Amino acid sequence: MRNLFKLIAIIPLLVFANIGYTADMKVGFIYIGPPGDHGWNYQHDVGRKAVDKAFGDKVETVFQENVPESADAERVMTQMALSGADMIFATSFGYMDPVLNVAKKFPKVKFEHATGYKTADNVSTYSARFYEGRSVIGHVAGKMTKSNKIGYVASFPIPEVVRGINSAYLAAKKANPNVEFKVIWIFTWYDPAKEADAAKTLISQGADVIMQHVDSSAIMTVAEEAGVYAFGQASDMSEFGPNAHLTAIINGWGPYYVKRVKQAMNGTWKGGEQTFDGIKSGMVVIGDMSDKIPDDVKKEAMAIADGIASGSMHSFTGPVNKQDGSPWLKAGETADIGTLLGMNFYVEGIEGDIPK
Amino acid sequence: MDFSEINIPILIASLIVTATPLILAALGELIAEKSGVLNLGVEGMMIIGAVSGFIIGVETGSALLGIIGSAVGGALLSFLFAFIVLVMKANQVASGLALTIFGLGIAALLGHPYTGIAPPQFQSFSLPLLEDIPIIGVMFFQHDFVVYFSILASIATWYFLKYSRRGLVLRSIGENHDVAHSLGYKVIATRFASILFGGALAGLGGGYLSLVRVPQWTEGMTAGAGWIALALVVFSGWHPFRLILGAYIFGGITILQLNLQAIGVNINIAILSMAPYLATIIALVIISVSRIQGNKGAPGSLGVSFVKVT
């Protein structure tokens, strides 16, 4: 049903696309949800607007929201390519195979796929080291919890999310050895009612700091009502929880988008590249810290962020064991990129199983 | 794994909150179906209720007016449906599906400027004295008035259908509209009223989502609740009390599975996620089969357009 509606929604795109434009280049974006989510999609749209601003009339950007991770994504991208897009940013993990399929049909169009791992001659991927940000907020969470229980609302058991849980846990544990993580998987990126239910459940079990790896701001609203703390996901969400909001991990896509569009314009863009940037390049930004956080904790948190940016610290530094007690990282050793990108295990101390 | 961490009274209280929008929407649909109209537009009416309630709530600063606005919004959309199927005699299934698609789209359009705004706070309406009872007070007597309304409405619906003359007329129209018509009952007018009632309750359910349960407006936020409500009506065998029971089972298992995950129970989470649907269907089918035996309670004229024969 919804898909049918989305198909109908594509029609105007088709019409507008044929009117003709004068820009040198046309760049398309597809979003999995509405840019009004104040989270993941919102930040990609901020990145799109940065492209608009940087190139003015030279580049025209178009976008399609609420594109499901299915054959619909292929249809939308095909339509964009047919209507003259020179470059397409597909901004969700599940667009991976659709991107490759469409890229094959349009070898001249440049594709950029967020958070995926498959590339082609005209497909590059980009992702952010969100786990670096999770080290910072994990530290804050460990210091701020009074019940020593931190709730975590997780979406899908993919490496990116598992990495975030592990990174946050290691930082929180270091800040507060008594800390315990409670994880709920809700198998959706965006369902405000489900996210709210999960957060309420965690709070009812005694969690007084809630972390999230889902896209809406529902959890912040629930945390504000219940008088517990939470963190902004992808964007600053303090307007939803002025008292609850501690800080946020903000996704800064703008600089990357501008850089890649510029490369595409002057012919230096290459396919098959895999960008994985973090705090250092500004792809992961730590938001403003709430005045609820004591000054010394603020300083420690910023020191972690600076340390990661300068390379003197790493979110995964040994000794770290896997959940079953088997050794993973020796003392002083840091995780290699391959293990991080395919991470499918919890570190020692986290209870429960990762759903298969 | 520590089962003592599950807070049972809060679990019960949250399952009631989770089930309330379902009860409201399903109860409205039950009345419409009892009068012989199959309205598959519940999801659309819910989301319209969610968005109109939210907009009115934000603009007036009153959550109560917002809740009322959500019922009005749902009823307005159902008016369109009533006109199409009762006056224009269009196919009910197709019109209902179209209503859902239309509702989702128009709600997204209307709600666009309202994403990212916090609605006015809803005052919980604790029952004096009763709320102070330990444990039971938390579970049952510290809710907002919509929760109590959903239960009172179910009782009223049951009484209306079973004992009132008008309820009997409504049921007879649903069973066989030609006979009811020949006896002089107003088929179209009754069905019109039933559809509007159904729309108002579905809208209320949606408004409860956007104003109380989440509370914020986001596109597509009903996320299939309307379809669950439709299924509840059928599996409850068109009975208001079994409908409440079904909704509470559904809400209960939804909340229970979140609780089990949070304490780290080693059960496959795919099974946990599907449990609410399975358990609700199994429970209601078993009850319906043993109680009704043969007669599934479906109105005879359900889904059939009424054309006056002169």
Domain residues of chain A, as ranges? 2-128, 130-252+283-341
Amino acid letter, residue A27: V
> With a cut of 0.90, is the ipTM above it?
no
Smallest Cβ–Cβ distance between B105 and the set A5, A194, A206 belongs to A5
In A, which residues are within 8 Å of B255 by CB distance?
A: 197, 201
Number of other CB atoms surrounding residue B282 within 10 Å: 12
Chain A residue at shortest CA distance from B122: A225
Order the strands of the A110-114 sheet from edge to edge.
Answer: A59-64, A25-30, A87-90, A110-114, A123-128, A274-277
Domains A2-128 and A130-252+283-341 fall in the same CATH topology? yes
B268 contacts A356? CB cut-off 8 A = yes
Per-residue pLDDT, A20: 47
Smallest Cβ–Cβ distance between A191 and the set B112, B223, B268 belongs to B223
B259 contacts A205? CB cut-off 8 A = yes
A356 contacts B258? CB cut-off 8 A = no
How close is the nearest chain B Cα to the Cα of A110, in Å?
Answer: 31
Q: Higher confidence at residue A212 or residue B122?
A: A212
Per-residue pLDDT, A18: 47
Left if phi > 0, otherwise alpha if psi is -120 to 50, otherwise beta: which for B81?
Answer: alpha
B254 contacts A351? CB cut-off 8 A = no
What number is the average pLDDT over the span A223-250?
93
- What does the pLDDT look like over A167-222, one tens digit per residue? 999 999 999 999 999 999 998 888 888 899 999 999 999 999 999 999 888 999 99
B112 shares contact with chain A (CB less than 8 Å)? yes
Q: What percent of chain A has pLDDT over 70?
A: 94
In A, which residues are within 8 Å of B274 by CB distance?
A: none
Short-list A110, A139, A114, CA closest to A231 = A139
Question: Does CATH number 3.30.300.30 belong to domain A2-128?
Answer: no
Per-residue pLDDT, B89: 93
Q: What percent of chain B has pLDDT over 90?
A: 60
Which CATH number is associated with domain B3-124+135-292? 1.10.3470
The domain spans of chain B are: 3-124+135-292
Q: Higher confidence at residue B5 or residue A320?
A: A320
Per-residue pLDDT, A239: 85
B216 contacts A217? CB cut-off 8 A = yes
Rounded Cα gap, residues A211 and B262, in angstroms: 13
Burial of A59 (0-12, 13-18, 19+ CB in 10 A): buried
Chain B residue at shortest CA distance from A352: B264
A7 shares contact with chain B (CB less than 8 Å)? no
Per-residue pLDDT, B216: 85
Please check the confidence at residue B281 and state whether its pLDDT lies above 70: yes
pTM given for the model: 0.83
Q: Torsions phi, psi of B263, nearest 5?
A: -90, 0
Please check the confidence at residue B1 and state whether its pLDDT lies above 80: no
Per-residue pLDDT, A244: 96
- What does the pLDDT look like over A22-63, one tens digit per residue? 678 999 999 998 787 778 899 999 999 999 999 999 999 999
Short-list B36, B44, B96, B5, CA closest to B224 = B44
- What does the pLDDT look like over B195-254, one tens digit per residue? 999 999 999 999 999 998 888 888 888 888 999 999 999 888 899 999 999 999 999 988
- What does the pLDDT look like over B7-43, one tens digit per residue? 888 899 999 999 999 999 999 999 999 999 999 999 9
Tokens 């398309």 found at: A28
CATH class of the structural domain A130-252+283-341: alpha beta
